[in-house]
Amino acid sequence: MRANAILGVAAAAAALTGTGLVARPEVGGSPLLMAASAASTQGYRAFVWEPNVPYDGKFTFARLSYTVYGRQSGWEYDYPAMERHLMTMLEEITELRPHRTGSNIHALDDPELLKYPVAYLSEPGFWHPSENEVLGLHNYLAKGGFLIVDDFMLNEWYNFEREMLRVLPGANIEYLKLGHPVFDSFFKIESLDMPYPSRPNLRAEFLGIHEDNDPSKRLMVVINYNNDIGDYMEWSDQNFWPGNISNDAYKFAINYIFYGMTH
């Protein structure tokens, strides 16, 4: 499987001509000008909450919902386009056969969440879970669930850290090095250097929480700080961001899914 996958996301994109995923080639020149150009043309998709996919054992992307404080919304950003694009890419370049045209939204304390090995949390800078939600997510992680945290930056860290430590008291949140298995679970990631969309001077940081705070044990939470891989994937069909960076976002996301499925 790995040998076929090393053809790369760009090759998969070429096979997806009909969907237009990641059609833009690698772009040179000033990152600031590229970001400004992208931001000036980027539009907004209307949010439509779709029915959850009934559980049938196939991989289903699970997004976490929560009550938002201090702003209008957050957890649903990039939904459902990101899910559709990622599941399309996942189906095209791996042997995994996910639900391609459907995905799920679950509250943190929804017992149904325990059926899904990988969950995605967006915009945790404005995340304030209730006690029941804290317990629900704690149990999900303790029972083997894997959490992807994405789309937050700068001072939003402090809220995320405070709430995450309610979920996992005493957890060590540590920087992940390039040699970590999560960066070699499907694609071999060559670099962790990645800009935040529309803010090229803000560079991504990759952190994680391991079971029992032991780096030799499984990674329970992967944290994309100063990053937003969801946005790169959402808009990959519209050429808002350089194709090489969008490809990297897909590689990270696919690695996270495979790591979560195998650990």
As a whole number of Å, the end-to-end CA separation of the chain is 18
- Does residue 242 lie in a domain region? yes
Residue 106 placed within a domain: yes
pLDDT tens per residue, range 220-233: 999 999 999 999 99
The pLDDT, as a whole number, for residue 241 is: 78
Number of domains observed in the structure of the chain:
1
Q: One-letter amino acid identity for 8?
A: G
Distance CA 87, CA 84 (A): 5
Q: What is the pLDDT of residues 112-141, one digit of tens each?
A: 999 999 999 999 999 999 999 999 999 999
pTM here?
0.84
Within a domain: residue 109? yes
The angle subtended at Cα 235 by Cα 17 and Cα 8, nearest 5°, is: 50
Domain contains 153 = yes
E strands, the chain, are 62-65, 104-107, 118-122, 146-152, 174-175, 195-196, 199-203, 205-210, 219-225
Identify whether 177 is part of a domain. yes
What CATH number did the domain enclosing 92 receive?
A: 3.40.50.12140
Is 163 domain-assigned?
A: yes
Q: At what angle do helices 81-93 and 243-262 cross, to 10 degrees?
A: 70
30 has a pLDDT exceeding 50? no
Whole-number percent of the chain with pLDDT over 90: 69
Which residue segment(s) compose the domain that 197 sits in? 2-6+57-262
